[in-house]
Amino acid sequence: MTGCVFCEIAGGDRPADVVLDEPEFVAFLDVRPVFPGHTLLVPRLHLETLEDLPSSLAGPLATTVRRLATAVRVATAAQGTFVAINNTVSQSVPHLHVHVVPRTKGDGLRGFFWPRTGYASDAQREQIRSGIASALPDP
């Protein structure tokens, strides 16, 4: 869709730190992460909310989220992950996307207040991006 940031990333027309590039989905590091390794998974097809997701993509989305959650946890040495989808409210880009956020006990994240951070350097961002991409289990 013209003017959609996530469609531009999925189409290769906008740069992003891509960790997964597959026919139906693309995943990349969030530019304003809650914690380093915070990754967004988007369908290539422009869909605004979860309700718009065709049934044929529901299973593949869940499988891909599961793979991505594993990779984020492994690559960031986190104890677990937080997985979330916003529908319209709090959805900064009107394109369906799944947040996969690395979590560690005592990391300070409480409720739905998500303080945003950044990466210490481009090198740190690239190290985490390549770590997630390398840790992705096979489909």
Catalytic residue IDs: 97
Asked if residues 4 and 94 have their Cβ atoms less than 8 Å apart, the reply is yes
The CA-based angle 94-76-119, given to 5 degrees, is 60
* Single-letter amino acid, residue 131: G
Strands (E), the chain: 18-21, 25-29, 39-43, 80-85, 98-103
How far is residue 93's CA from residue 137's CA, in Å, rounded to a whole number? 28
Partner residues linked to 28 by β-bridges: 18, 40
